[in-house]
A = this chain, B = another copy of it.
Amino acid sequence: MSADIVLVDGIAAAQLSVFDRGLHYGDGVFETIACHSGRPRFLPLHLERLVAGCARLGIRPPALESVRAEIEQLAGMQARVLIKLIVTRGAATARGYAPRGDERTTRILLRYPWDEDPSLAREGIRARIAQVKLGESSQLAGIKHLNRLEQVLARSEADPSQAHEALMFSSSGRLISGTMSNVFLVRDNHVTTPRLDVCGVAGVMRRVLLREAERAGAPIEERTLRREDLDAAQGIFLTNARIGIWPVRSLDGRAFTEAPVTRALQELLRPVLQEAHDG
C-alpha cells in the first residue's frame, strides 16, 4: 500500500528538502486523483480546487501543463491507480511563519495502488461519530490544505475494524463531514449536505454530485446541519473522489436501511464515474 513512483518537481525522487514549508507548517494543499485505464478522473475539477487552495494561501500555483503531463505519465498504462498531488509553498527562504514571497512552489506526485472493496458501495459501511471536533476557521474552510491533525486524531480514536469512517462535528456543533469524505443526509427523499463555510473540505465528488443532482432536477440543499438533523435523518451517505458514494448502514450501532434516493444517486453517478474523465 505504499507509493511505487514519486516525482518531486518532475524528477523521480524519494526525498524532499528538510526546509520545505509543507513540513514546517503544513503550508500547502493536496489532491487525491482516481485514475482508471490510464485516465485521471475529474482532473480539471481537482486542478481547479488546487489552484483555488493556492490562491487562498497565497502560494504561486505550479505550472498546470507540467502537473497535467506528470499525472498522465504516472496514470498511463495503469488499470487503477491513485495519484496524490501535494503542492507546498516550497523551501523556506527565512526562519519563521511569514512567507517572504520568494519561495519556489514544490510539487510532489505519488502513485499508489487503488485497491478497494466494491461491496462497501453496494452494502454500505459502518460509521461512528468522532470525539475530535473540527476547529472553525473560515479562511481555511473548503480547501484541501495540509493541516490534517484533526483527521489523524479522529482516525486514531477507534480501531478501523470497528468503523469504516467517522463523522465529524465542528467546535460549535455543526455536522461537517467524515474524516475523508463529505456527508449527505436523507429525509423524506430530500437530500441535504453541510455548508462548508467554517470548515471542511469541498470534495470533488461532492461537487460532481451536486451538479448531477441539479441537472437531474432533484437538487441537493447545502445548509448548516446540526446533531438534531443527523438524528432525524432516515438515510446517510458519504462521498469522495475515490469511493463515489458509500451508503451508511450503521452509525454508532444505529441501523439504516438504504434510502431509495441513495441508490438513485449512485445510479446517476455511475456513467459519470466511468466516462467523465474530462471533468
Contact = CB atoms under 8 A, between A and B. Distances in A.
A136 B199 CA distance: 11
A25 B148 contact: yes
**Number of copies of this kind of chain in the complex:** 2
Interface string A1-38: 11100101000011111111111111100100000000
B97 A151 contact: yes
A107 B21 CA distance: 16
A179 interface: yes
A137 B133 contact: yes
Nearest to A25: B148
A94 B171 contact: no
A96 interface: yes
A20 B23 CA distance: 8
Given A3-B95, A6-B18, A171-B172, 19 more contacts: A1-B95, A2-B94, A14-B18, A21-B152, A24-B146, A25-B147, A25-B149, A57-B149, A57-B152, A84-B95, A98-B152, A98-B156, A131-B139, A134-B135, A134-B137, A140-B150, A145-B149, A146-B149, A147-B148
A227 to B, nearest CB: 17
A160 B98 contact: yes
A252 to B, nearest CB: 18
A86 interface: yes
13 contacts: A2-B92, A3-B19, A3-B95, A14-B19, A16-B23, A22-B23, A25-B26, A25-B149, A57-B153, A97-B151, A133-B136, A135-B199, A137-B171
A17 B17 CA distance: 9
A116 B134 CA distance: 37
Kindly list the 4 A-B residue pairs having the minimum CB-CB distance in the complex, ordered from nearest.
A135-B135, A26-B26, A147-B147, A15-B15
A209 interface: no
A244 interface: no
